[in-house]
Amino acid sequence: MIDEKGILFILSGPSGVGKGTVRKSLFEQSTDLRYSISMTTRAPREGEVDGVDYFFKSRDDFERLIGEGQLIEHAEYVGNYYGTPRQYVEETLEQGKDVFLEIEVQGALKVRENFPQGVFIFLIPPSLEELKDRIVSRGTETEDKVKNRLHAAKEEIEMMDAYDYVVVNDEIENAVTKVQSIVSSEHCKRERVAHQFKKALEEK
Amino acid sequence: MIDEKGILFILSGPSGVGKGTVRKSLFEQSTDLRYSISMTTRAPREGEVDGVDYFFKSRDDFERLIGEGQLIEHAEYVGNYYGTPRQYVEETLEQGKDVFLEIEVQGALKVRENFPQGVFIFLIPPSLEELKDRIVSRGTETEDKVKNRLHAAKEEIEMMDAYDYVVVNDEIENAVTKVQSIVSSEHCKRERVAHQFKKALEEK
C-alpha cells in the first residue's frame, strides 16, 4: 500500500473579505474536499446547527480541550473562543483526503506552525487589486486618506507573506474557480507525485 | 505603470506521451496563453503551414540562427533541427502575456537554464500512474519484463525531478483541465502577486 496523505488547504484573509461566502459556494459545488468544522463557545445563531455550522461547546469544555491539546489553533474574539479540532483534521489527512479550513489570519499563522506543508490561501478584497491603478492616478483624494489606505494596504501585504497563494475576491465565482485551480494543481506538484512513484519503486 | 511580465509555461514529457494532442486541445479552448511556434529544418508534412505548425527553415538558415544566439534551445532528431526562437518568447513575456512551449525533454532542460522562473510541466503516460498498483500486485509477468518496466519507470521519474508539476495523460480532457489549473493557480502565487502590490506601494 502506498501511503498518500491528503492535503490541508487553509483559506484565510482580513475579516470582512468574504471567506465564508467563498467557502460555502465552493462546497455547494462538487468537491472532494472535506470541510473542517470549527468549534466555538458563542451561542448558535438562528438556523445554525451543531456539527454543521460549528461544534458548539461550553466555555469549560472548550478550555478543557485546549488543555488537552485537542485544538490545532484557537483564539478569542469578543469574549468567545473559536478553534480548529485536531482529531478530525489529522484523521482525515491520514485517510488520504484533503481537508479545508476557513479561519482568521491569526489562527492560520498558528496552523502554519503545526502544518508547514499545508497550502495557505490568502483572500484579498478587490480594493487591494485596484490599488495598483489607484496609486498611479492620484490627486482626487486628500493626502491623509491616501496615507491611511496605503498604511492599511501595507499591513495586508505583510500578512500575505505567510501564504502560498493570493486570491482576489472580485466576484465569488472567480474566487471559487481560482481556489479550485489551486486544489487541482497542488495535486500535480512534482514534490508530491514523484515521491509516490519513487516510494512504489523502492517497495518493489 | 506596473511592469508585470508574463509567465513561461513548458509542457514536456517522454516522446509518444501525447504532448501535441494535449497542447492542441488546450489551444482549441479559450485561453490567454500564446503558443510559441517551433522552428525546424524538416520538410513540411501534408497540410502543415509555415508559421502555424512550425517555422520551416533551411539547414543553413537554422545554423546561422544558432550562431546568432537566436534560439533558446535546439536539438537534432533523425537528422533534422528543432528549436525555440528566442525573440517571440522574450517579447511576448515582456508584454505581460504568458507563453506556452511544447517541447522535448532534452530541450526543456535547456530552457530551464535560461528561464529558471518558468513553470515546467511533465506529462506522463497513465502506465506510470498505474505502476503503483501494478507493483504491489505482482506475479503475472516474467521477472525480466517487470525489471524492464521498472528500469523505464525509474528513468522517467528521474527526468521528472527537473519539473514543477506532473500531469498524468489518462484522458486528454483531464490532462488539459489540469494544465489549465496550473496556469490559473500560478497567477495566484504569492511570490508573484505580493511583489506587484509591494512595487505599487514603493512607487507611490
The neighbouring-strand residues paired with B93 are none
According to DSSP, the β-strands at A39-40 and A80-85 are antiparallel
The pLDDT tens digits along chain B (204 residues) read 345 899 999 999 987 889 999 999 999 998 899 999 999 999 999 999 999 889 999 999 999 999 999 999 998 988 999 999 999 999 999 999 999 999 988 899 999 998 999 999 999 988 777 766 665 555 556 777 777 777 777 788 888 999 999 999 999 999 999 999 999 999 999 988 888 777 777 765
pLDDT category of residue A135 using cuts at 50, 70 and 90: low
CA A155 to chain centre: 18
Residues ≥6 apart with Cβ < 8 Å to B79: none
Q: Listing from the earlier edge strand, what are the strands of the sheet with A39-40?
A: A55-56, A39-40, A80-85, A71-77
CA distances from A32 to A29, A111, B181 (A): 10, 21, 16
Mark yes or no for CB contact A188/B200 under 8 Å: no
Mark yes or no for CB contact B181/A178 under 8 Å: no
Chain A residues inside the 8 Å CB shell of B194: 157, 160-161, 166
Rg, chain A, Cα only:
19
**pLDDT of amino acid A37:** 94
Chain B residues inside the 8 Å CB shell of A163: 190
Cell 482576489, residue?
A168
**pLDDT of amino acid A1:** 38
Q: Is A34 left (phi over 0), alpha (psi -120 to 50) or beta?
A: beta
Chain A residues inside the 8 Å CB shell of B153: 197, 201
Chain B residues inside the 8 Å CB shell of A195: none
A79 is in an annotated binding site: no
Is ipTM over 0.90? no
Mark yes or no for CB contact B197/A132 under 8 Å: yes
Residues ≥6 apart with Cβ < 8 Å to B143: none
pLDDT tens-place string over residues A80-133? 999 999 999 999 999 999 999 999 888 999 999 989 999 999 999 887 777 666
Q: Out of B122, B188, B190, whose CB is closest to A178?
A: B188
- CATH code that applies to domain A8-36+97-203: 3.40.50.300
Max Cα-Cα span within chain A: 70
Tell me which architecture the domain covering B8-36+96-203 has in CATH. Answer: 3-Layer(aba) Sandwich (3.40)
Q: What is the rounded end-to-end Cα distance, in angstroms, of chain B?
A: 11
Q: Please state the length of chain B.
A: 204
CA B109 to chain centre: 10
Contact of A203 with chain B, judged by CB distance below 8 Å, is answered with yes
Residue A2 has pLDDT above 50, yes or no: no
Percent of chain A residues past pLDDT 90, beyond the cut: 64
Cβ atoms of residues A160 and A166 within 8 Å: yes
User: Domain coordinates of chain A in residue numbers?
Assistant: 8-36+97-203
